[in-house]
A and B are shown apart, each in its own frame.
Chain A
Amino acid sequence: MEICGGQTHAILRFGIDQLLPDLIRLIHGPGCPVCVTPVELIDKAIEIALDRRVIFCSFGDMLRVPGSSTDLLSAKARGADVRMVYSPLDALRLAEKNPEREVVFFAVGFETTAPTTAMAVMQAAKRGVRNFSLLVAHVRVPPAVELILGAPASGVQGLLAAGHVCTVMGWAEYEPIAQKYGVPIVVTGFEPLDILHGLVMCVRQLEQGRAQVENQYSRVVCREGNRVAQELIRSVFQFVPRNWRGIGEIPDSGLGLRDPYAVFDAEKRFGPAQRRSADSAECMSGLVLQGRIKPSECPAFGSRCTPEHPLGATMVSSEGACAAYYKYRKTRPSDPYCEDRTC
């Protein structure tokens, strides 16, 4: 299983899975932060964005993801002031430039984006920016990996860990996981050769009966990770339980603002998100995110569920597995390409 949605897209984009022998089957993991952001937080985001006092800032990925009834882009079309930003620090700058407005940043992402969010919060505290807050949806990889490997139905025999997450966190926290579940874990990059190399390292461990953490992405990642970034995360955030869209609540899998910084929590300013399960009953993205089915095995895939009319987030995000299959493997019924195993 490759954890990261970026790797899933590279695999489909370059057709790596089609080059592999039948013995190796790639299972796609839950590493798409947009996809696992729970519906209640997206609904809350839309509700906040529609507040006339608010400038709502989000990464581009998040804008098209459906909540229970609509998405942020549609809210924008109805008059909400929704801005696409590339960094939470851009949102903080907007807050400083617009002191009469409330600026809210939708803090989404794994450990990769959490340090810049933490940096923005610290800067806001230091400079006394009171009109800035965050709707926090940050999630952590290791608890989700444990959930998947610990499931009785798990067929995962090897893991490609996400290179970018490990750039920040290092890989020490994966060592007990590899040991506990007897699964080799290889920290892997995103180029086609990185992924193929990661697979070779994984297979070699399996052949030798080893289950250790190895590092394919050594040009970027070291065991300790980026200590400064980790310290930022630790200072600003604490582990909290988080509801994952399609999967459910996973203990300690979320990052929530620690006490001195809790004043920047948008849920405190605008009211807490209300838990609901509003995904279409037809959407099987939960099973896709756990690697239990391939997107193309969902009956709605490509017919009732397309990027234009998605039933779930995995069909929208640029890192979602369903979107990757649709973009790179969609075939029309009359086409000879339909003999392809994935359609």
Chain B
Amino acid sequence: MLSDEQNFGGICPVPIGQYPHVVLAHGGGGKLMHQLLEKVFFRAFANPALEGRHDSAVLTICGHRIAFTTDSYVVRPLFFPGGDIGALAVFGTVNDLAMAGARPLYLSAGFILEEGLAMDTLWRVVQSMQHAARVCDVQIVTGDTKVVDKGKGDGLFINTAGIGVLEHSLDIRPQSVRPGDVLIVNGDIGRHGMAVMAVREGLEFEGTIESDSAPLAGLVLKMIRAGIEIHCLRDLTRGGLASAANEIADAANLRITIDESAVPVREDVKAACEILGLDPVYVACEGRFIAFVPAKDAERALEIMQGEPVGKNAAVIGQVMEAAGGEVILRSTIGVDRILDMPSGEQLPRIC
């Protein structure tokens, strides 16, 4: 008799033929990752909630709409300027809930610890999570711990899942985006990616670039309570602004235009990107999101954002156009339009 594995393999061959092995780019937030999601996970697990292609699944249970999400954190180094893996694991999941317009309530925390990890390091991470949970007004209510052999982990991996509740009637998802919607970002982009890269690779820039890691739920809920008709929200994590905009354009089957000169990027981030041959629009953030709102609400939404510390550098950066194809067009700083594509994999620093 065939084992389960053999049996399954015989009926359903692996749907991605080009890559016999997983490569790092499969987790890079770009095209290869999306191909993996579409061809492996979405295909295998297909269901209506997953179809939403959103940061959180929105589920109706006993007449209440709740948002449910999960994320794993494998950042190296564990501590970096402006944050650490613990705060990131709380903020990241809280932010995914916020992107569905939910008020985050409860988190789970799963720890995969590598044998030999300093107990003091673990304690610092846990304390940081405790602090972050307090800031976000969420409770970590369940969890799990596993220890793997030395060399089989990178010190510490964390998985968090979260549940939040939707207390409004808005339908915040990519498919709600409409032509004429205005695109607002809550601050300067690219800081988290460059902060982590600078520490990880031992790059020394003048001054320290601090991560933008921050919780976003407070600001989002404030916008909702103010009656802003939010159509969609997306946080800018792996793959940065370019990936987020492309995901929304694709899911909504509309064209998004972005004005490059309106996108806030700090000078130090810009310079560091230039040295490494990276484009800030592809660099990861951990406390930034884009909001799609109707033009009538844009000014008020911007005001509300700018009134909060996490949105003080918010800016209108683009709009949604009536055109099928799901493309993102970037108007360059010298006024020429070009395509802003989804990254292929992770950006790699260039040679010279």
- A residues with CB within 8 A of B: 6, 12-16, 18-19, 33-34, 59-64, 73-74, 76-78, 84, 86, 90, 108-110, 112-113, 164, 192, 306-309, 317-319, 326-332, 334-337
Contact = CB atoms under 8 A, between A and B. Distances in A.
12 contacts: A16-B334, A16-B336, A61-B351, A77-B24, A78-B21, A86-B201, A86-B349, A164-B352, A192-B333, A308-B18, A319-B351, A329-B338
Contact of B341 (A61, A108, A330): A330
A335 B348 CA distance: 30
A76 B346 CA distance: 15
Contacts of A16: 334, 336
B339 A330 contact: yes
A334 B325 contact: yes
A328 B338 contact: yes
* Interface SS of chain A: helix
Interface string B308-352: 000000000000000111010000111011110100110111111
Contacts of B31: 307-308
B208 interface: no
A86 B24 CA distance: 19
Interface string B142-165: 000000000000000000000000
A18 B338 CA distance: 10
Given A59-B351, A64-B348, A164-B352, A77 B23 contact: yes
Nearest to B278: A318
B67 interface: no
A13 B22 contact: no
Contacts of B345: 64, 308
B277 interface: yes
Contacts of B202: 90
Given A14-B332, A14-B334, A112 B352 contact: yes
A307 B32 CA distance: 10
Given A308-B35, A308-B344, A335-B327, A59 B350 contact: yes
B262 to A, nearest CB: 16
Given A14-B332, A14-B336, A77-B21, 11 more contacts: A12-B338, A13-B332, A13-B338, A61-B349, A64-B345, A73-B25, A77-B22, A112-B351, A307-B31, A308-B35, A327-B339
B203 interface: yes
Contacts of A14: 332-334, 336
